[in-house]
Chain A
Amino acid sequence: MTEPRSADFPHAAREVLQDSQLRRNVAHATDVIRNKRDRVVAECSSWQDLRDAGSAIRQHVLRHLDQYLLQFESACTQAGGQVHWAADAADANRILLDLLVRHNAREIVKIKSMTTEEIGLNRSLAAHGIAAVETDLAELIIQLGRDQPSHIVVPALHKNRRQIRDLFQREMHLDSLGDTAEDLTAAARQYLRQKFFSASVAVSGANFLIAETGSVVIVESEGNGRMCLTLPRVLVSIAGIEKVIPRYRDLDVFLQTLPRSATGERMNPYNSIWTGVHSGDGPQEFHVILLDNGRSRILRDPEAQQTLKCIRCGACQNVCPVYRQTGGHAYRSVYAGPIGAILTPQLHRLQEGASLPYASSLCGACYEVCPVKIDIPEVLIHLRGQVVRKQQATLTGKLGAWNLGMQLAAQIFVSGDRLALAETLGRLGQRPFVRSSGFIERLPFMFSGWTRFRDLAPLPAESFREWWAKRSTTP
């Protein structure tokens, strides 16, 4: 593995698990969203049919992605939009920077977007002296606290009211501030209002691009999205190439499944749909940057390409027994939770995030809730296979204890006689390790991880197969 050990999931998780405040906040937030989601999904009599349709539409798009992107480009351009293509993060940042320099923008307003997080947009702009103001309340909390988002939909769920009050008071230079959610929300409204009114450029992500009409869709709650989309003179939307859907009417599926899955609402407060530029209403200059950044390569793998069906609702995170313990930070990636565990390693060709496919108990809850039916457990196992094969391709990996051990195990499990022999040897070999409690409490070397948090029952004196053989010969 090329990444440092400190960045892999088990090490990062051990660190964050020490923070009991974070764990309480994550548990509370995920519980609240889960319960709300379950309630509004139960109201929806054709939920499984909606999942099927959503999955089919997204799968269909991926199979014909080039054609739908070209159709989107043509329709958007016809409506007065300008479409740019960015092969990687550096491309996207350069295109945006050129636009901002041309408009002489020193400060821009931004809508929360995973894609801009992925390309490190804020850092790139800051390096050129341009401030990107996050306008989503949670993102504002993250930005003012110089913190990292911990959830796709509620990025600041690891912070509680008192922590936010202290942060706002310090960063907004307020003499006094209450710590109710209302007080804090009002402070953010006040702080951002003048920024919305004076910014000349806004940057957004996109929830969907509609090939048929060339429209872009943003789903949000607070109205900061509407402010950014309608007040500044110039709007730049940065979207992953997989965000396209074929037709306007396909939105009827996703506008039923996305709000319910993401925030547990029948419909989130605001959805905006716009097409190019419209005289007298909204920005008079509109750009879309289509970002690849490793996505097209994911299409190559027939089993794993379903990862790109994702509509970024975050439902898989809220039900994941691993995520619910660690929160998002342990994943050391913009994309956390089960979807992050399959998306991150693929975006980075396993150069980063190779430990993430193992950050799962494979319980399958993520698949059950996924509104586009991504079989995350299947992809996790598939990626584990790739990680192993990649390790086997190196000399140290091939001759490493794990690989030799697994190869040996494979040789043993193919035959009953070999298994019986291994059991006999195991019973002899385990003797020095069995304590007076009757359990193995500590194993050496590569096996030590197994006994770090639990005792291991020793191999019994008689195996099941031996017992069975005796039982059937002596009726």
Chain B
Amino acid sequence: MTARDTILRSIQENLRAAERLAGPGPGPGSGGDDLISRLYREAAPRTPADRLALFEHNLRDYEAGVAYASPNTIAEAVACSLAARSLTRIAIPGGLPAEWLPSGFLFEPADDCDPTALETFQGVLTACTLAIAETGTIVLQSAPGQGPRRLSLVPDYHLCVVFDRQIVDTVPEAFVRLAASATLPTTFISGPSATSDIEMTRVRGVHGPRTLEIILAKS
């Protein structure tokens, strides 16, 4: 008998034994999931302005930087953020809108770069799939404009453009929107990499980017 058979049989036998002792539970085929109470709040009735303000507050609370732009001034905002830190050589994913890229900087498509090559960039610029206001989270997937996961991981600086229409209030709303692309590699990012392992003091940037900045594009 394989380990698989052993384990499955053990689960079935022990569940049956427990049932004999305690009486049967609801079956999965008989609408089992309907018996799971989902009374928790799934949405929040916020105005767009309140949602944006909450998102910004939570980003800052976890030490992410925030800048504002309109959909047609993204390139200016990008230039502003990079210039403030004197960054010039920036990795970008394939499919990033060309109109986001200001002149005077070196943007190089880096989807195929290995980690050692990625390490030579001063930063990375990406889009995102969506953002969550209540937790200050951006969600990136392996998709055009966002690139493979290592792209937003290895460079020490991550600049991410978020449109206001991409921001949802709650975590449950995020999962409704993500359902269609659930099997893409997905990363939830909430503030820069951090640890509290040493005397419970929060320190920024262990292995991921030490700086995370968000450009909020407001239409």
Asked whether A and B interact, the reply is: yes
A contacts, CB < 8 Å to B: 25, 28-29, 32-33, 45-46, 49-50, 52-53, 56-57, 59-60, 63-67, 69-70, 79, 84-87, 91, 135-138, 141, 154, 156-157, 160-161, 164, 181-182, 184-185, 188-189, 192-193, 196-197, 213-215, 221-224, 226-227, 229-231, 241, 246-249, 251-253, 255-256, 263, 265-276, 278, 280-282, 290, 292, 296-302, 305
Having A46-B41, A60-B33, one finds 11 other A-B pairs with CB under 8 Å, namely A28-B199, A28-B200, A63-B15, A66-B12, A86-B3, A141-B197, A213-B182, A276-B183, A292-B10, A296-B14, A302-B18
Considering the complex, give the chain B residue whose CB is closest to the CB of A138.
B197
Given contacts A222-B195, A223-B153, A274-B185, contact A53 B40 (CB under 8 A): yes
Q: How far is the CB of B43 from chain A (nearest CB, A)?
A: 11
Residues of A contacting B18 in the complex (Cβ-Cβ under 8 angstroms): 299-302, 305
Residues of B contacting A189 in the complex (Cβ-Cβ under 8 angstroms): 205-207
Considering the complex, give the chain A residue whose CB is closest to the CB of B198.
A181
From A69, A136, A278, A292, B185 is in contact (CB under 8 Å) with A278
B7 touches A292 (CB 8 A): yes
Q: How far is the CA of A248 from the CA of B175 in the complex (A)?
A: 8
B185 touches A197 (CB 8 A): no
Q: How far is the CA of A66 from the CA of B10 in the complex (A)?
A: 9
Q: Name the interface residues of B1-55: CB closer than 8 Å to any CB of A.
A: 2-4, 6-8, 10-12, 14-15, 17-18, 21-22, 25-28, 32-33, 35-42
From B115, B136, B183, B208, A213 is in contact (CB under 8 Å) with B183
Q: How far is the CB of A180 from chain B (nearest CB, A)?
A: 8
Q: How far is the CB of B10 from chain A (nearest CB, A)?
A: 4
Q: How far is the CB of B109 from chain A (nearest CB, A)?
A: 13
A188 touches B206 (CB 8 A): yes
B26 touches A181 (CB 8 A): no
B190 within 8 A of A: yes
Q: How far is the CA of A223 from the CA of B26 in the complex (A)?
A: 40
Cβ-closest 7 pairs across A and B? A223-B208, A302-B22, A223-B207, A281-B148, A222-B206, A49-B40, A267-B135
Given contacts A154-B200, A227-B207, A274-B185, contact A256 B171 (CB under 8 A): yes
B58 touches A266 (CB 8 A): yes
Q: How far is the CB of A4 from chain B (nearest CB, A)?
A: 30
- How many A-B residue contacts, CB cutoff 8 Å? 261
From B39, B119, B175, B206, A251 is in contact (CB under 8 Å) with B175
Q: Name the interface residues of B60-106: CB closer than 8 Å to any CB of A.
A: 62
Q: How far is the CA of A290 from the CA of B111 in the complex (A)?
A: 33
Residues of B contacting A297 in the complex (Cβ-Cβ under 8 angstroms): 10, 14
B115 touches A196 (CB 8 A): yes
Q: How far is the CA of A161 from the CA of B28 in the complex (A)?
A: 51
B198 touches A282 (CB 8 A): no
Q: How far is the CA of A69 from the CA of B185 in the complex (A)?
A: 21
A156 touches B8 (CB 8 A): no
Q: How far is the CB of B58 from chain A (nearest CB, A)?
A: 7
Q: How far is the CB of B5 from chain A (nearest CB, A)?
A: 9
A215 touches B182 (CB 8 A): yes
Q: Which of B150, B206, B209 has the most CB of A within 10 A?
A: B206
Residues of A contacting B148 in the complex (Cβ-Cβ under 8 angstroms): 230, 280-282
Q: How far is the CA of A60 from the CA of B28 in the complex (A)?
A: 8
Given contacts A185-B195, A231-B150, A305-B18, contact A60 B40 (CB under 8 A): no
A181 touches B35 (CB 8 A): no
Q: How far is the CA of A359 from the CA of B13 in the complex (A)?
A: 31
A270 touches B40 (CB 8 A): no
A-B contact pairs, 5 of them (CB 8 A): A52-B39, A63-B15, A69-B7, A135-B207, A302-B22
0/1 per residue, B171-196, Cβ < 8 Å to A? 11011101100111111111111111
A182 touches B203 (CB 8 A): yes
Given contacts A222-B208, A231-B150, A296-B10, contact A137 B195 (CB under 8 A): yes
